[in-house]
Structure 1
């Protein structure tokens, strides 16, 4: 009888824990919000950019032009080659400015003496680009969004700059 009661209590506890868990959902990205607010046709055009070389894989980058109704928006997207998850930034110009500012700040931050420093830009959709300085070693990263699958650490930070520069060229052609 004691075993039966113990098993019954254990099953009840397991069941109540499973039911009580609330899944934390990621907020919709700028891209998701834009597409969902339009009824009718949505036209998506992608323009491939340089791959970002990550520490464990690679990141595909592209400019995505989205036309919905009478509106058109341009997004910068990163998709990890090995893991799922994408990044969208509504204002590509802000992303370029942020990267330039971070690049300037990184040269000073590497010279300072600290064990750990993180400096990043976060857009309203949750996209993060930035760097970490640990014992004077600089590592750049891109994080899809706050609830994204993971942070993408760049093995070769020049590929991010190449991707953004190519994005500017594509953007100028589209306007």
Structure 2
């Protein structure tokens, strides 16, 4: 007899019974407001495709959906493309990954200095290395294209070490340069 009296009192209801009562209350409230409540179904998604006068509806399921979270790399790529940052990102990748792109041996003897348009300026540590890099120019461009993308670098301008300048000051007399004045 005690079970009947406690079951009829709302304070003594079990968690399951309280949840069911709350659900029925919410359904009744939604029905009164004119909203339909389906059991276990999500809201329909309207597609942009139209068939005749009626728009098609499909239900969201376990498959991929436009509302799903997107990978961070894809989102960053879209932002970079919208703002026109792709060339600067590729340039940073080229300068940052120079040793991996051309190899450690070449990277220890030559450094990229700047990228002007599609011309990459490379400074070699000696004239011998500059000459060797000029012979390997097509292979270096192919390696860059494989990592960065085709068309980013179309040619290399390879320079050797800079000779000291004998020109001192703003005024200069053109001529043969320093002469032998030692005797």
The alignment's TM-score, normalised by the length of structure 1, stands at: 0.21
Query: Bigger relative contact order, structure 1 or 2, given CA contacts below 8 A and separation 6+?
Result: 1
More helix by share: 2
More strand by share: 1
> Which of the two has higher C-alpha Rg?
2
The alignment's TM-score, normalised by the length of structure 2, stands at: 0.20
